[in-house]
Amino acid sequence: MAEETDALAALTRILSPHCRVTRMASGALIADWRRTRFLGMATADLRNLAEGSPEERAALVSGLVRAGCATAGPKAHADKEVGLWLRGVHLLIRTVGFGRVLRLLPLVAPDYARADPPPAEDVARLKRAVQSHSRGSWFVNGDCKSEAVTAFVLLRRRGWKAVLHVGVREHPLALHAWTSSGDLCIPDADPRGHAFAPVLSIDGGGQ
């Protein structure tokens, strides 16, 4: 039973966000919801995926990539893409309001699907890109709401777990927004050393 659980966990980690895996008596069933199809994997292949040699695992992963059920690895967001998302999010917040943007999140930030935690270096790279574009733009001008929503959307669209927080500080009264993923926050949860008590946390695709 433990070996089967490890094998399923290994398979889940490499599947694309639009695929789900279910344990079956003869192995596993992969549901590819993007293409509306089902693929089977034998018990022996599952065992090789979890405990096989590097060559055996590579062959299985390559087969899943060719079938469209896995990717060679999540690609880092291009710097230009981060800037476009940040300016677009900021414009949307200024147009319809922050509250309405939060209600729209399920449309653009689906539930995370990956079982493995987001790599710290990827989150740190995204944080640097978001804050660089934000601080360097007269239009965005370091707006924490825009930074938090942009980070939340981009992380979720890559399949990583992320939680968007809105916090409040009483003295003096102030609001702050940030997105946490792994052990990092975008932007910082306590800017200039001021702690904010979370009053709203959004995960589960905005639920």
Q: pLDDT tens for residues 2-49?
A: 555 667 777 777 787 778 888 888 888 888 887 788 888 888 888 887
pLDDT at 106 over 50: yes
Are both 189 and 93 inside the same structural domain? yes
Residue 72 falls inside a structural domain = no
Of the segments 9-18, 61-70, 72-81, which one has the largest average pLDDT value? 61-70
205 — pLDDT class (breaks 50, 70, 90) = very low
Are both 123 and 182 inside the same structural domain? yes
Are both 191 and 108 inside the same structural domain? yes
Range of the domain at 45: 2-66
Say if pTM beats, i.e. exceeds, 0.75: no
Mean pLDDT of 108-129: 83
Residue 121 falls inside a structural domain = yes
Residue 188: predicted pLDDT? 93
Which amino acid, one-letter code, is at 34? R
Residue 201: predicted pLDDT? 94
Residue 114 falls inside a structural domain = yes
Query: To the nearest whole number, what is the mean pLDDT of the chain?
Result: 84
Are both 150 and 189 inside the same structural domain? yes
Given 15, 41, 66, the domain boundary residue is 66
Q: How many domains does the chain have?
A: 2
Residue-wise DSSP of 106-168? HHHSPPP--SSPPPHHHHHHHHHHHHHHHHT-TTTTT-HHHHHHHHHHHHHHTT---EEEEEE
The domain that contains 104 carries what CATH number? Answer: 3.30.460
Please work out, in degrees rounded to the nearest 5, the angle formed at the alpha carbon of residue 192 by the alpha carbons of 80 and 81: 10
